[in-house]
Amino acid sequence: MSTLPKIAWIGLGIMGSPMSENLLKAGYDVTGFTLEQDKLDRLAAAGGTAAASIAEAVRDADVVITMVPASPQVEAIAYGPDGILANARSGALLIDMSSITPGTSVDLAKAAADQGLRVLDAPVSGGEAGAVEAVLSIMVGGEQADFDQAKPIFEALGRTIVLCGPHGSGQTVKAANQLIVAVNIQACAEAVVFLEKSGVDLAAALDVLNGGLAGSTVLTRKKANFLNRDFRPGFRIDLHHKDMGIVTDAARDVGAALPVGAVVAQLVAALRAQGDGGLDHSALLRAVERLSGARV
């Protein structure tokens, strides 16, 4: 009989499905809930248990993990008579791996403590590929003892796992991550258009650039997207737009100037307004092409 903690997983989207499946591969008992029946069927096919409600999923869980799009969804699944706080057993550990505002994470931790629950905010970076390959970077906020308890779970999901500070710290670091990623993608997109308009062999140019100081995980992961104009969503523009709002608001609150970040946030917003919100964030290339007079 397994001595591993029983896990409830809420949210089985692009990231949540492969992450929950990696826990199943590691031997964990996972009960999941999400709104899409096909995602529940996928979990069951992988060896998990599909629940009919949040309450059913979390009732007997030692650890509840949530992975949903934004703060409103976290609040919707956490609060109220049908939510996690009202139905999870006292002493359970709630790990929110969504990317939300630091303030939402702090408020959730306080509300959960009133119900006898412990909380970690643990957003991730690495995209769909990182989730599938279990090589995510996991940035955590909360108490050391809770982090220590959760560490084996995190090790089944990611490679770089760091406790960044108290509640909300994980989300603050994730906001900085999203700032860096967006600026990096934008710079890569501009370089791609510049190279192509200059008549350079794009594949060769990106290879040599990625071998020098200009190299990055972004370029490694997104090079094929740029070359093939393949913008199937690994991480949607809609979500990066949300994240850029989080980092610009948080920076304003602490008095940090983000001049380049503010420009890129507007470029992400413009791409979304042009109807490309459902595409992968590498589709920032489309915006640069439009500005450069290219057909897209």
Active site residue 25: no
Same domain, 19 and 135: yes
Does residue 201 share a domain with residue 110?
no
Residue type present at position 156: A
Give the chain's domain count. Answer: 2
Residues 141, 183, single domain; the answer is no
- 146 and 71 within one domain: yes
Asked whether residue 14 is assigned to any structural domain, the reply reads yes
Are 141 and 84 found together in one domain? yes
83 and 144 inside one domain? yes
Expressed as residue numbers, the domain containing 76 is 7-167
Rounded (10°) CA dihedral 155, 2, 28, 92: -90
Pair 103, 161 in one domain? yes
Domain annotation covers residue 2: no
- Tell me the two tokens of residue 66: 């949530």
The pLDDT, as a whole number, for residue 295 is 67
Residues 146 and 66 in one domain: yes
Catalytically annotated residue among 6, 25, 39, 174: 174
pLDDT given at position 296 = 66
Query: Could you tell me if 252 and 155 lie in one domain?
Result: no
Q: Residue 167 carries which side chain, given as an amino acid letter?
A: H
The set of residues, in sequence order, having a beta carbon less than 8 Å from that of 187 and lying 6+ positions away, is none
Q: Is residue 119 part of a domain?
A: yes
CATH of the domain at 210: 1.10.1040.10
Same domain, 160 and 20: yes
Q: What is the 3 state secondary structure string of the chain?
A: CCCCCCEEEECCCCCHHHHHHHHHHCCCCEEEECCCHHHHHHHHHCCCEECCCHHHHHCCCCEEEECCCCHHHHHHHHCCCCCHHHHCCCCCEEEECCCCCHHHHHHHHHHHHHCCCEEEECCEECHHHHHHHCCEEEEEECCHHHHHHHHHHHHCCEEEEEEEECCCHHHHHHHHHHHHHHHHHHHHHHHHHHHHHCCCCHHHHHHHHHCCCCCCHHHHHHHHHHHHCCCCCCCEHHHHHHHHHHHHHHHHHHCCCCHHHHHHHHHHHHHHHHHHCCCEHHHHHHHHHHHCCCCC
Structure-block tokens of residue 171 = 């989300």
pLDDT value, residue 78: 98
pLDDT in tens, the chain (296 residues): 468 999 999 999 999 999 999 999 999 999 999 999 999 999 999 999 999 999 999 999 999 999 999 999 999 999 999 999 999 999 999 999 999 999 999 999 999 999 999 999 999 999 899 999 999 999 999 999 999 999 999 999 999 999 999 999 999 999 999 999 999 999 999 999 999 999 999 999 999 999 999 999 999 999 999 999 999 998 999 999 999 999 999 999 999 999 999 999 999 999 999 999 999 999 999 999 999 998 66
- Same domain? For 40 and 161 the reply is yes
